[in-house]
Structure 1
Amino acid sequence: MNRKKLLYSILKEIEQGNEPKQSDYELDDEQWGELAELIRSEGFARNIMIQYADDTVYYVGYHSAKITMSGLEFLEENNAFTKTYKGIKEVRDWLKL
């Protein structure tokens, strides 16, 4: 899967006030947790809740997430995706393009 597209989609949903969910992307717990960690560590969004159990991601929540200036810059730098991204309802097909 294209990680930049995944990041773009998650950040776009946060920007629009939506809460991305793992089931929207058909990712396993490890992949979902790694993406959340990446978004948080790169400073693309804040208020992402990540809970661990025995060093394994147990829960990721974006319900209070807010995009940052770095996140907005990422969206602008990857604005080529804007032409084809239709939102969370069609994200699985979009990721395959």
Structure 2
Amino acid sequence: MKYLQYCYENGLGPDPNILQARTFAISNHQFYQTLSMLTDDGYIKGLTRTSTKSGDIWTGLDQLSITSSGLQYLAENNMMKKACKTFKEVRDWLPFV
């Protein structure tokens, strides 16, 4: 989703050569399942799955985009990471009682 956020913020379309399982060092199955879950949860849009007798055909990688829910998720997740880091630093500063 960070890549799609980057594309959104810079007015770019996603590059299907970047959006590949090997970019993330995962299997094709895991890659498309993850994209499917992100679509189902409303974080991204544009992916289409067509089921055939020989398996699923996925299209739309060049049309993927992040949704406002996806942007909100990334913003909240980033804030939580910063808060956790701050709490860990504060904990390290406090003397043991």
* TM-score normalised by L of structure 1: 0.58
Supply the AA of the counterpart residue of 1:49.
T
SS in 2 for 1:35: helix
Q: Which runs of 5+ in 1 are unaligned?
A: 1-10, 82-97
| Identity %, equivalent residues | 18
- Alpha carbon RMSD of aligned pairs, Å? 2.4
Shift of 1:40: 0.7
- Structure 1 residue runs of 4 or more that deviate by more than 2 Å after TM superposition: 49-62
Supply the AA of the counterpart residue of 1:16.
Y
Q: What is the distance in 2 between the residues matched to 1:45 and 1:35?
A: 11
Output aligned runs, 1:43-54, within 5 Å: 43-54=42-53
- Is this contact kept in 2: 1:45–1:67, CA < 8 A? yes
Q: What is the distance in 2 between the residues matched to 1:26 and 1:69?
A: 27
Counterpart residue number, 1:14: 4
SS in 1 for 2:29: helix
Q: What is the distance in 2 between the residues matched to 1:75 and 1:14?
A: 11
Between 52-61 and 23-32, the greater mean CA deviation after superposition: 52-61
Say which one has the larger Rg. 2
Q: Which runs of 5+ in 2 are unaligned?
A: 8-13, 83-97
* TM-score normalised by L of structure 2: 0.58
Q: What is the distance in 2 between the residues matched to 1:75 and 1:31?
A: 21
Counterpart residue number, 1:39: 38
Number of equivalenced pairs: 71
- More RCO (CA 8 Å, sep 6+): 1
- Is this contact kept in 1: 2:47–2:58, CA < 8 A? no
For the structure 1 residues 50 and 58, does the alpha-carbon distance in structure 2 shift closer, same or farther, using more than 3 Å as the test?
A: same
Q: What is the distance in 2 between the residues matched to 1:71 and 1:60?
A: 20
